[in-house]
Amino acid sequence: MDFENKKCEICGKKAEIFLFGKFLCKNEKCIEEAKKLSMARHKFRVVAVGSTNPVKIEAVKEGFEKVLGAVEVIGVDVDSNVSSHPIGLEETYLGALNRAKNAFEKVQCSYGVGIEAGLIEVGGHYIDIHVCVVFDGVKETVGLSQGFEYPKIVAENVLKGIEGGKTAEEISGIKDIGKNIGLIGYLTDNNITRKDLCRDSVIMALIPRMMKNIYLY
């Protein structure tokens, strides 16, 4: 096989092998990524999530299984093309839409899903919400989670460009809190966790895709 001018389809370096239907370099990580992306080929309903955050991946799996039935869920690292902690509903929605479309492009799948947390201001209160977008290659459907008021210090720091998760870690003393119970989990003694918020937003975004509702949208 001719590798002249061929680039690794994962990292862009010089290709040396052809594996899982892709030209690749010999870097273990690239081979692993190509294997993961090719896994999708033989599964029926594959859902690609535009994040590697386990909370979001698990929430998408639970949300889809609750509404549409069994799926194979793959998390992939994609750009949201918005700030790391979007402010306002529009920017948060855009982040979720970009993640969904980028994930759909990256993995052979039935749906691309983006979940983006953002901060919306209402009456001087800063509310954290999660927006979910589900993209099927043609149209997107959207849903929002429940929202909760951020403690002032967290909101002030987000407005200064410090991600909510960083301040949440300081307040709770829980490392990587955004990748497990979330600030919401800390504030509610785990009565509501970040996975619940993410799963709610997924279920909301799937309402227009339920058989009984399709003709209404």
Ligand X SMILES: O=c1[nH]c(=O)c2ncn([C@@H]3O[C@H](COP(=O)(O)OP(=O)(O)OP(=O)(O)O)[C@@H](O)[C@H]3O)c2[nH]1
Interface with ligand X by CB under 6 A: which residues? 51, 53, 56, 85, 116-117, 128, 163-165, 168, 177-178, 182-184, 194, 197
Token pair recorded at residue 101: 């479309």
Of 91 and 140, which CB lies nearer to ligand X in the complex structure?
A: 91
> Any known ligand binding at 92?
no
Exposed/middle/buried for 188, CB within 10 Å: 0-12, 13-18, 19+? middle
Closest distance of CB 47 from ligand X, Å = 15
Closest distance of CB 129 from ligand X, Å = 8
Contacts of 86 (CB under 8 A, 6+ apart): 80, 92, 94, 95, 116, 117, 118, 119
Residue 132: what residue type? C
Of 25 and 129, which CB lies nearer to ligand X in the complex structure?
A: 129
Of 17 and 87, which CB lies nearer to ligand X in the complex structure?
A: 87
Q: Which residue has the tokens 């759909």?
A: 104
Q: What's the gap between Cα 164 and its chain centre?
A: 16
Of 116 and 140, which CB lies nearer to ligand X in the complex structure?
A: 116
SS (H, E, C) 95-107: HHHHHHHHHHHHC
> Any known ligand binding at 53?
yes
> Any known ligand binding at 108?
yes
Token pair recorded at residue 81: 């093309």
Closest distance of CB 89 from ligand X, Å = 14
> Any known ligand binding at 54?
yes
> Any known ligand binding at 52?
yes
Binding-site residue positions for Mg(2+): 79, 108
Binding-site residue positions for substrate: 51-56
Binding-site residue positions: 51-56, 79, 108
